[in-house]
Structure 1
Amino acid sequence: MSRVVYLHVGAPKTGTTYLQDRLALNKTELARHGVHYPLQLHASQFRPALDLLEMPWGGLHVDVDGEWEGLMNRVRRLNGKVIVSHEILAAARTNQVKRAMASLEGAEVHLVYSARDLARQIPAEWQEGIKHQRKQAFAGFLSKVQSSRRTKPNMWFWRVQSLPDVLSRWSKGLPPENVHLVTVPQAGAPRDLLWRRYCQAFGIDPAWAPEQSDRENVSIGAAETTLVRRLNRRLKDAGLPSEEYRRLVRELVVHQTLAQRPGMTKVTLPPAAFPWADEVADEWIEWIVGSGIDVIGDVADLRPVPTAPGTPWANPDRPRRVEMVDAALDAIVALAMEAANRPDPHEQITARIGRAARRLRGQ
């Protein structure tokens, strides 16, 4: 039986967390239909992707050596359809793409890329950066995005989000019909539409993965993001280790606390940036049509949808102080409860001394 590998390379913030978790949850059922999502000890293919990119990510670059080849070895032992999916793969350099394709030699390779319009992606990527300890204000981030080159880019945003550049890097040597672009539906679309589009790209029946995921890469509001951005500055000076930051700030404060707050002010693109975003969308659509690749969805999804006329724009760098204070209080409560639930170090020391004393008495 032949092997067909679907290589999903991103982009970030296009429903990839939900997709990968649903594939993992239904791994056994999918395998019964000849569709494989190879995992090892970890619940995603993040570590192999990190190994291929040879880049640091919170110190993990030391621990992932050999993970890509390990994943490829598992792929080569499978027949039928095999899905490899991680959004950071979009950032691969030309030599890394060549390495990835060489490791899939002998298989029929299909490339899958998912894209969303810039009016949604720019705020989402800014927030994602803040969750990873960055400290840049939204205005500065937007200015850099607009001024940075989109062809052979150095800026991370464009390395993963510049649709023509990503697909040009990854699709060399592939026929256009083996390159599948999944567009992320605009707001108001049926909740499962993006999932069904992914299934179409992978050539699977949605019914083969009945168990739904409740995971998503959460977003937070303007006040909450600015709070975390300012906190990042203080924590850097305080020297909080990255591992503790991931556990206490990203997971506890952001995901479990701030992301659950009702009525948050959404971070949106300023009205003055929409003409530029429209021009980029025109370039993308022209490239897509000329390339002849398979489009799953509608290229119109890639056009930014402006807010209703007369809607005031909320500057995310200058949120209302009362909103920031309220968000900060929620964060403090979460951290206080975490501290209260931690074992008392003095009690731990006393317990260790007691155990040692009992062992001595037993000698």
Structure 2
Amino acid sequence: MPDPRLVLHIGAMKTGTTFVQDLLIANAERLRAEGWYVPDQRTVVRATRELLALTDAALGSGRAARPASLDDAPRWVALMDDVRARTAEPGCAGAIVSMEFLSYAKRPGVQRVLESSHGLDLRVVLTVRDAVRALPSQWQSLTRNAHRLSWPEFAVAARTRGQRPPHPGTRAFRRTQDIPRMVRTWGEFVAPERFTAITVPAQKDQPRTLLWDRLLDVVGVDPARTVTDTAFDNPQLGYGSCDLMRRVNDAGLAAEPPSAYRRVMRRLTHQELLPLRESESRPRVDQTTAAFAADLNGRSLAAIAEHATLLGDAADLPTEPPPSSSLDPGDVPAQVPDVEVRRAAEALFGGALAWCETEGLELPAELAAPLPHDLDAAVRQVAGVLAVAIARDPSHRLPTD
């Protein structure tokens, strides 16, 4: 009797992973009827974070030091045990687990995944998107998670090689968007017939659900047996709002506790900044970054040809830069106009003031005053109010240089 199958969708970031995961959640019962178990997504996220937190560094000290092992990732082990137990039930063909952070894994992490999935027929899926679109999208997500780089800084850092120590933007790029690295890392341990790279549809006239259809092709379920009208739309903020986010992060907000930061900022950005999206510009790639992205697509396709099976259209990863009319000139992307950042600052400031009032946080006069004309000073004041909201403490102040 064949082992139950585990379809492990490992990302990458900004390739429709939220869309896929939302549909997995919405279709959990329908997929169960087709013989496929979908674990609770929060459990998957926590287990993955725990697994990736393990490093090659020894745990403990002195003679008690030892290498990290699966014993140090009990949540991940429990997840795999749960998958084995559920897929052993009559009528269950396998399980589907989706977590884009797994694309970050280095060799030891991949080895631990394989070690923990004994008794399961492991099939790995990597979703891949045109780098011209993925790079600015990744920067936008980074700004919403306390990163401090501007779009021009991130674009230049992404294509930088050989700098020691690596630029923070280079590290962020390699972790989240270096598809050839991901393919080689996983392909070292997973045979091509068990490793599928799915391209994200690039043409605007293609149905949004095509990515879902391609994933279900790997699983072996007819997409017609699922529903897709409940999928979450995860739009990016506009350029001005994203640049405001990196500026308040750089003003000291990045040092706030991550969980408290996310609690406040995710709600405020959705309520106050997302409505500005249609009136804001979009970050574009410059000609040099576009050439880098096209080369990255080519290297991704070459790595996939060597280590994985391609599902989709190679044309979804164009190896020639787009027309120059859609690019910023030169070798650095254009910075966003200050007027967009100012408009976003006013919106976020108003939302943060309302948040503090609702929470009963009485702000000092210098933070509650109207924003000054100088943009840098205005950003620092917005960051100060946000820090109070995050800390839930009117006396909390950001560090000053």
Match of 2:267 in 1: 252
Match of 2:60 in 1: none
Q: CA separation in 2, counterparts of 1:83 and 1:121?
A: 24
Deviation at 1:213, TM superposition (A): 3.4
Q: Deviations over 1:110-129 (max 9, x none)?
A: 11000111111111111111
Alignment of 1:246-325 (within 5 A): 246-249=262-265, 251-261=266-276, 262-291=278-307, 293-303=308-318, 306=321, 308-311=323-326, 313=328, 318-325=335-342
Question: What TM-score does the superposition give when structure 2 sets the normalisation length?
Answer: 0.75
Q: CA separation in 1, counterparts of 2:333 and 2:247?
A: 13
Match of 1:32 in 2: 33
Q: Deviations over 1:206-233 (max 9, x none)?
A: 2333254342443112211111111112
Conservation of the 8 A alpha-carbon contact between 1:182 and 1:201: no
Q: Which amino acid aligns with 1:287?
A: A
Q: CA separation in 2, counterparts of 1:260 and 1:271?
A: 30
Q: Which consecutive residues of structure 2, in runs of 5 or more, have no partner in the other structure?
A: 56-71, 88-92, 363-401
Secondary structure at 2:5 match in 1: strand
Conservation of the 8 A alpha-carbon contact between 1:145 and 1:157: yes
Q: Which amino acid aligns with 2:354?
A: M
Q: Which amino acid aligns with 1:86?
A: M
The partner residue of 2:159 within 146, 156, 167 is 146
Alignment of 1:1-363 (within 5 A): 2-39=3-40, 43=42, 45-54=44-53, 66-79=74-87, 80-148=93-161, 155-188=171-204, 189-210=206-227, 212-236=229-253, 240-249=256-265, 251-261=266-276, 262-291=278-307, 293-303=308-318, 306=321, 308-311=323-326, 313=328, 318-343=335-360
Conservation of the 8 A alpha-carbon contact between 2:126 and 2:197: yes
Conservation of the 8 A alpha-carbon contact between 1:218 and 1:255: no
Q: CA separation in 2, counterparts of 1:170 and 1:109?
A: 12
Deviation at 1:304, TM superposition (A): 6.2
Q: Judging changes above 3 Å, is the alpha-carbon distance between structure 1 residues 160 and 231 closer, same or farther for their aligned structure 2 residues? A: closer
Q: Which amino acid aligns with 2:45?
A: F
Q: Which amino acid aligns with 1:285?
A: L
Conservation of the 8 A alpha-carbon contact between 2:135 and 2:177: no
Deviation at 1:187, TM superposition (A): 4.0
Deviation at 1:173, TM superposition (A): 4.2
Deviation at 1:65, TM superposition (A): 5.0
Q: CA separation in 2, counterparts of 1:316 and 1:236?
A: 25
Q: Judging changes above 3 Å, is the alpha-carbon distance between structure 1 residues 160 and 318 closer, same or farther for their aligned structure 2 residues? A: closer
Q: CA separation in 2, counterparts of 1:83 and 1:33?
A: 12
Q: How many residues align?
A: 330
Q: CA separation in 1, counterparts of 2:54 and 2:146?
A: 17
Question: What TM-score does the superposition give when structure 1 sets the normalisation length?
Answer: 0.82
Deviates more, 1:227-236 or 1:332-341: 332-341
Q: Which amino acid aligns with 1:9?
A: I
Q: Deviations over 1:33-75 (max 9, x none)?
A: 1111112xx646211111110169xxxxxxx952111111111
Q: Which amino acid aligns with 1:143?
A: V
Q: Could you tell me the percent identity over the aligned residues?
A: 27
Computed over aligned residues only, the root mean square deviation of the Cα atoms, in angstroms, reads: 2.7
Q: CA separation in 1, counterparts of 2:142 and 2:232?
A: 19
